[in-house]
Amino acid sequence: MFVLLAMPGHALPKVDVPKLRADIQNLEAAINDFTAGVLPSYETARQVGLQTFVETGAIFTGRAPGLLGARKGTPLTGQTMDVRLGLVKLAQADGSKGNDAVLRALGGENTRALVLLSGEATLSDIRGLLAINRLQVSPRGPSLTLDVPLIIWTKASVRMAPGETLLLNRASGAFVLNFGNMNIDRATIAVTGEENQFSPRFNPFIATAGAGSIQVDGANISGLGFGHSAKFSGLSVLRHALSPTRYPTHFTNSIFSDVAGISIQGVSDVVVQGNNFRQTRARAVTLARSSYGRVLSNVFSGGMPTNAIRITDGSNNAIVAGNIILRGERAGIVVRNNSKAVIVTNNIVWRRKGGGIQVVKSDCGQVSGNLVFGNSQKGIELRNSRGSLIDKNLIAANHSAGIWVSAQDATEQTFIRTNRIAGNGSGLETATGGVLVLDGNDFSSQFPRLLKGEWVGQTHVIAQNLTGQEQIVFSPNGTVTDSAISANTLENCSGLVKSGLKSQ
């Protein structure tokens, strides 16, 4: 059944789908033309008049990262170590899967690595320690090719200065395990060398684990990562709950090209902001078991075989805001697996071979102010999630439903407010949608494909209320009242959502 409740009229601007499509195509062209460095998502959108869709506002601004100074009085020490000891320590964070491929890449019995035990090392220091320990001899200069694994132990750190380059040799099995701290300031890290003959699927990576931390600012990172394990994904930060860290972790204002992705597990308050991700080979950014994460004002473009941003496994109170996601496979932004009070706001998701934004088994989520346009499946998809709010979005030209709600408890209320829904395969589709509270939505550019699924028989209710001048409540039993709605789980969720802004 449905209930109509009187409310003030709404006047939302009409949707010009052809103009919007042209504007986004111009946005993609501007991003593809910019090859000299990172162009912030807001600035690229401003050039084509789409800036309102990626404004984050002061409340969503990430922490100012700042650079870290060296710890005074700690001597630099280093020696050789069996790399298997480092891999065993890494396995404590993410298991041993894939370690065999890494060991094979070293080509036999020689499993020696350079380990930094204490102090802060520069590339020049590492070059010297490699020679002293008879691991390799490298020419001097701002570039260092690493032919053997490098391990940064818990009391050590590495600082890369502006203009420096670290090349990791794929053919000889080079990679970096970081249990201390890495600071990469306007430097370059890339892969060099032919395919590894002993382990063809191996590719160099940087894995941070234990109490380790990493700061990447204004850098250029390319080629890293292989396989399906988070620890080998390219740049990974895998923290154990019993390993407190001394330094923050952030990735800001950098270019990541042809990397598998950034994988973050168990890291609170991480910031991924102002970066440009191009042609990633897996999920570009994954936050798992990581509370209060911020994924802000990044640009994702080129081929992507799966999600651009994934918030999962209890990553509570994350904010995903101001990102531009163009093309790629599967849903652009995914929130799933008990990740509570996640805010997904003011993002552009366009032309995915999949859906736009998906929230699954995650309570108290807010999907607000996004432009979800031209995707091959659903625009915004909500499944089995309590206390959800979908509001102020522009959802247009998606091939399936503009908004999909399913697998909800019969009494669970989902709030769908002040959205503009235009030219989708259908406007709103449900399958066991629970209670839907529709308030101020504009379906006028969606007519006549308004409803699909269990409520298709009530299409006339929407048709008589195309601009949302009256509130509509769809309920399996028709017992919802105005007072019941006002006291619903949105209010119960508000405290959780507000706590997500605690670090702002």
Residue 296 lies in a domain: no
Residue 300 lies in a domain: no
How does strand 451-453 pair with strand 420-422? unpaired
| 457 lies in the same domain as 359 | yes
> What pLDDT is stored for residue 492 in this prediction?
82
Number of domains into which the chain is organized: 2
| 7 lies in the same domain as 137 | no
SS3 431: strand
| 39 lies in the same domain as 126 | no
Domain span including residue 464: 1-63+335-504
The answer to whether 436 and 414 have CB atoms below 8 angstroms apart is yes
Domain end residue (candidates: 259, 285, 311): 259
Closest alpha carbon to 102 in 193, 228, 203, 195 = 203
Closest alpha carbon to 170 in 200, 140, 142 = 200
| 504 lies in the same domain as 366 | yes
Domain end residue (candidates: 241, 259, 277): 259
Residue 402 lies in a domain: yes
| 100 lies in the same domain as 223 | yes
pLDDT values of the chain reduced to their tens digit, one per residue, 504 residues: 565 554 444 556 788 999 999 999 999 998 988 655 677 899 899 989 999 999 987 555 444 445 555 455 689 999 999 999 999 999 988 889 999 999 999 998 889 999 999 999 999 999 999 999 999 999 999 999 999 999 999 999 999 999 999 999 999 999 999 999 999 999 999 999 999 999 999 999 999 999 999 999 999 999 999 998 999 999 999 987 666 778 899 999 999 999 999 999 999 999 999 999 999 999 999 999 999 999 999 999 998 999 999 999 999 999 999 999 999 999 999 999 999 999 999 999 999 999 999 999 999 999 999 999 999 999 999 999 999 999 999 999 999 999 999 999 998 999 999 999 999 999 999 999 999 999 999 999 999 999 999 989 999 999 999 999 999 999 987 767 676 776 667 778 877 777 666 544
Closest alpha carbon to 299 in 310, 285, 286 = 285
| 112 lies in the same domain as 240 | yes
Residue 311 lies in a domain: no
Residue 306 lies in a domain: no
Residue 255 sits in a domain whose CATH number is: 2.160.20.10
Closest alpha carbon to 208 in 114, 289, 93, 290 = 93
| 20 lies in the same domain as 110 | no
| 343 lies in the same domain as 468 | yes
| 361 lies in the same domain as 486 | yes
Domain end residue (candidates: 259, 283, 315): 259
Closest alpha carbon to 295 in 304, 284, 282 = 284
Residue 191 lies in a domain: yes
User: 201: which strand partners?
Assistant: none
Residue 267 lies in a domain: no
| 5 lies in the same domain as 153 | no
Residue 244 lies in a domain: yes
> What pLDDT is stored for residue 90 in this prediction?
94
| 345 lies in the same domain as 466 | yes
| 23 lies in the same domain as 97 | no
C-alpha Rg value of the chain to the nearest Å: 25
